[in-house]
A and B are shown apart, each in its own frame.
Chain A
Amino acid sequence: GQQLNQSPQSMFIQEGEDVSMNCTSSSIFNTWLWYKQDPGEGPVLLIALYKAGELTSNGRLTAQFGITRKDSFLNISASIPSDVGIYFCAGLPGYALNFGKGTSLLVTP
């Protein structure tokens, strides 16, 4: 499968700060998904995007499907300690998800 480039690899921020991370691919995707994974658990779906240019929010999270269909962005506003975890982007060209390597987020109180 196509390897996605996800950045940054890790972020260390203070509570209350906003966070941005992104994902790029050399291939076009029909669907972009963002997941969060806590240690020892499975990925939890945060946001699903289905259309180029689409901007979707889920509470303090906002994600966008890039207009070229080759990238996506996730923003977290006013971070809190429970936002700690690894965030993965995933592109869905057909039915097999292609994952980025993840962004590890650490939030200090």
Chain B
Amino acid sequence: NAGVMQNPRHLVRRRGQEARLRCSPMKGHSHVYWYRQLPEEGLKFMVYLQKENIIDESGMPKERFSAEFPKEGPSILRIQQVVRGDSAAYFCASSPGPRNEQYFGPGTRLTVT
């Protein structure tokens, strides 16, 4: 049973470019969460999605960041016009239900030059 998959594992972008991060949840999971981790810090919640719906995006910056989880295909976290402060590890997690334990993917490490 494959775990949560994320790609790419590493992404380098120049300031002003777009970053697109992908997440495929565990089989049978329809709840997806995105978290951001800065060096020496714990993970911070960004957004919670179910298929085709954003349930809670309270942790996501209002500008430049967006997320989707289409009916078919992976969840996408999109960061437009990246800045150096966006450099971080971005983790996706999935769960079978809204208040169950969450399982994490290996993360995408974004570096903005």
Contacts and interface: CB of A to CB of B under 8 A. Distances in A.
Contacts of A70: none
Contact of B59 (A30, A41, A96): A96
24 contacts: A1-B44, A1-B59, A4-B42, A6-B42, A31-B99, A33-B102, A42-B4, A42-B91, A42-B107, A43-B43, A43-B91, A44-B104, A88-B42, A92-B101, A94-B99, A95-B99, A96-B45, A96-B56, A97-B35, A97-B43, A97-B45, A97-B93, A97-B102, A100-B42
Interface residues of A, number: 26
Contacts, number: 66
A74 interface: no
Interface string A1-31: 1001010000000000000000000000011
